[in-house]
Amino acid sequence: MLIVGLVIGHVLRLKKSQITSLPVEAGFQNGTIGIFVGLLISEELMQGGLSRFSLPSVVYSVLMLVTIIPFLLWRRSL
Q: What is the pLDDT along the chain (78 residues), one digit of tens a residue?
A: 788 889 999 999 999 999 999 988 888 888 888 888 888 887 766 666 677 888 888 898 888 888 888 998 998 887
Helices (H), 1-78: 2-11, 16-40, 55-77
Buried/exposed code over 34-69 (b: 16+ C-beta within 10 A; e: otherwise): bbeebbeebeeeeeeeebebbeebeebbeebeeebe
